[in-house]
């Protein structure tokens, strides 16, 4: 059973290596370590948001407000730095606190009021973007000596690649996510609630608090993704990161999580994000293809993955005749 749990992750890893191999075969520049380190830096915000989304999807919910939260956190940071002269660390702390409280509210609406997660987070998405518009309609630069110092921290690797502070933070959060999912009581509760909510309730698990924590966690991780996105682009814009939630959901599904909840791994999401990233890199390396092909390719791999997953689920439930149909 434990081996089967990892089967989708191996499939995603295989797709990633295949795509990387194809790139390395066709383009000499692709073999450079720089491509890999850029892949991590460019998709860091996606990976961080994906970790939060993985918990939401594991619990059987969904979070459509990720992209809007990324934009709102950026706008909040920009305003606090430029208009109020806060120190970046204070600004980041306030923004993250805000994102966690907002996530908690969403969680309360889902868990206590019993509203459908898709609808609540959709309204939250409109609300966050609306608040971002209220604060600032323009794209403003986010710069501060402290932030410049942060982005100058860089650990060079052989070749031209290196590890930036963004990648380091992402790596730490990834480890944190894996530990949270598999080594803590909270993680077990999330799997149980997503697997069967009623059974979890009858077992005496704290269903409602767990669901609230899950959305608070997703809010916090989208907030961190927003900070990373702002550092990465150096600008705050209320229209930033539109539709990122769909990329994140795609990555989570590619990573082997099931939208019905209870099945999935944080590592899978990480690999799913890398597959999305490498498709973009490949299309960029080609240079002649219409950017529309990126989306078509991503959708193609998503379909391929779903079909593989469907096959493997059939295989898993074969032992239980009453479930097999």
Partner 1 sequence: MKTTWLIAFWLLLVSVSTLLEPDFLTIRIVNGRFFGSLIDILHHSAPAILVSLSMALVIGTGNIDLSVGAIIAIAGSVTAVLAAYSQLSPYLILACSLGVGLICGLWNALLVAVLGLPSFVATLILMVSGRGIAQIITDGQVVTFDSDFINGLGNGHLWGIPSRVLIMGAFVLFMVVFIRKTALGLFIEAIGANTRASYLAGVNTLGIVVFVYLFSGVSAALSGVLLAADIQGADAANMGLWIELDAILAVVMAGASLFGGRMSLLGAVMGVLIIQTLTSMLLISGFPAQYSLVIKALVVITLIIAQSESVGQKLSRLLPRQLSRRWCPQKPREEL
Q: DSSP labels for 222-275?
A: HHHHHHHHHHHHSEE-TTTTTTHHHHHHHHHHHTT--TTSS---HHHHHHHHHH
Q: Which is nearer to partner 1, 76 or 173 (CB)?
A: 76
| Closest of 69, 72, 88, 74 to residue 230, by C-alpha | 74
> Of 91 and 132, which has the nearer Cβ to partner 1?
132
- Tell me if 232 contacts partner 1 by CB under 8 A: no
* Contacting residue, 4, 87, 310, 318, with partner 1 by CB under 8 A: 310
Q: Rounded to whole angstroms, what are the CA distances from 180 to 7, 262, 266?
A: 21, 15, 10
Q: Is 306 among the residues that bind partner 1 (CB under 8 A)? A: yes
- Give one DSSP letter per residue of 32-99, joined into a string: SHHHHHHHHHHTHHHHHHHHHHHHHHHTT-----HHHHHHHHHHHHHHHHHTS---HHHHHHHHHHHH
Footprint of partner 1 on residues 88-117 (CB under 8 A)? 109, 112-116
By CB under 8 A, residue 129 contacts partner 1:
yes
**If binding is defined by CB under 8 A, does position 133 make contact with partner 1?**
yes
Q: Which stretch binds partner 1 (CB under 8 A): 84-92, 146-154, 164-172, 302-310?
A: 302-310
- What φ, ψ does residue 236 adopt, rounded to 5°? -120, 130
Among the residue ranges 1-9, 87-95, 215-223, 247-255, the one whose residues contact partner 1 (CB under 8 A): 247-255
Give bridge partners of residue 154 from the DSSP assignment.
164
3-state secondary structure of 183: coil
Stretch that binds partner 1, among 27-35, 37-45, 217-225, 292-300 (CB under 8 A): 292-300
Question: Can you tell me the distance from the alpha carbon of 158 to that of 146, in angstroms, rounded to the nearest whole number?
Answer: 27
250 binds partner 1 (CB under 8 A): yes
Residue 119 found at the interface with partner 1 (CB under 8 A): yes
264 contacts 51 by C-beta, under 8 angstroms: no
Question: Per CB under 8 A, which of residues 28..57 are in contact with partner 1?
Answer: none
Nearer Cβ to partner 1 (62/227)? 62
What is the pattern of x (binds partner 1, CB under 8 A) and - over residues 166-205?
-------------------------------xx--x----
Distance separating alpha carbons of residues 279 and 145, to the nearest angstrom: 35
298 binds partner 1 (CB under 8 A): yes
Measured from the CB of residue 183, what is the shortest distance to partner 1 in angstroms? 28
Binding partner 1 by CB under 8 A: which of 21, 303, 315, 317? 303
- Beta carbon of residue 248, minimum distance to partner 1 (angstroms, whole number): 12
Q: Taking the mean position of all CA atoms in its chain, how far away is CA 161?
A: 24
Please give the Cα distance from 229 to 149 (Å, whole number).
Answer: 17
Q: Which member of 66, 80, 100, 207 binds partner 1 (CB under 8 A)?
A: 207
**Which is nearest to 249 in space by CA: 62, 43, 68?**
62
Helix (H) or strand (E) holding 140: strand 140-141
For position 234 contacting partner 1 by CB under 8 A, the verdict is: no
Q: Is 137 in the site for partner 1 (CB under 8 A)?
A: yes
Q: Write each residue from 266 to 285 as x if it is in contact with partner 1 (CB under 8 A), else as -, in one continuous string.
A: --------------------
Binding site for partner 1 (CB under 8 A): 62, 64, 109, 112-116, 118-120, 122-127, 129-131, 133-134, 137, 197-198, 201, 207, 246, 249-250, 253, 258-260, 290-296, 298-300, 302-303, 306-307, 310
């Amino acid at each position: 059973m434990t081996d089967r749990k990892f089967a989708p992750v191996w499939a995603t890893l295989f797709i990633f290596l295949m795509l990387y191999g194809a790139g390395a075969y066709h383009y000499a520049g692709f073999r450079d370590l720089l491509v890999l380190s850029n892949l991590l830096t460019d998709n860091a915000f996606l990976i961080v948001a994906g970790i939060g989304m993985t918990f939401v999807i594991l619990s059987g919910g969904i979070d459509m407000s990720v992209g809007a939260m990324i934009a709102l956190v950026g706008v909040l940071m920009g305003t606090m730095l430029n208009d109020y002269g806060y120190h970046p660390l204070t600004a980041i702390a306030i923004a993250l606190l805000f994102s966690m409280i907002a996530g908690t509210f969403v969680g309360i609406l889902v868990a206590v009021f019993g509203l459908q997660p898709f609808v609540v987070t959709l309204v939250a998405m409109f609300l966050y973007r609306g608040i971002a518009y209220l604060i600032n309609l323009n794209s403003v630069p986010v710069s501060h000596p402290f932030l410049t110092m942060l982005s100058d921290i860089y650990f060079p690797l052989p070749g031209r690649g290196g590890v930036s502070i963004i990648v380091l933070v992402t790596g730490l959060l990834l480890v944190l996510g894996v530990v949270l999912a598999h080594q803590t009581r909270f993680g077990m509760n999330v799997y149980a609630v997503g697997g069967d909510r009623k059974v979890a309730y009858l077992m005496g698990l704290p269903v409602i608090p767990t669901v609230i924590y899950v959305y608070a966690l997703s809010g916090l991780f989208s907030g961190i993704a927003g900070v990373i996105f702002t550092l990465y682009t150096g600008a705050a814009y209320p229209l930033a990161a539109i539709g990122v939630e769909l990329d994140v959901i795609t990555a989570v599904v590619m990573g082997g999580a099931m939208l019905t909840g209870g099945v999935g791994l944080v590592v899978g999401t990480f690999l799913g994000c890398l597959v999305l990233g490498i498709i973009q890199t490949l299309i960029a390396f080609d240079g002649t293809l219409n950017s529309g092909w990126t989306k078509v390719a991503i959708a193609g791999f998503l379909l391929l993955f779903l079909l593989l997953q469907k096959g493997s689920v059939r295989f898993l439930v074969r032992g239980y005749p009453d479930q097999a149909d």
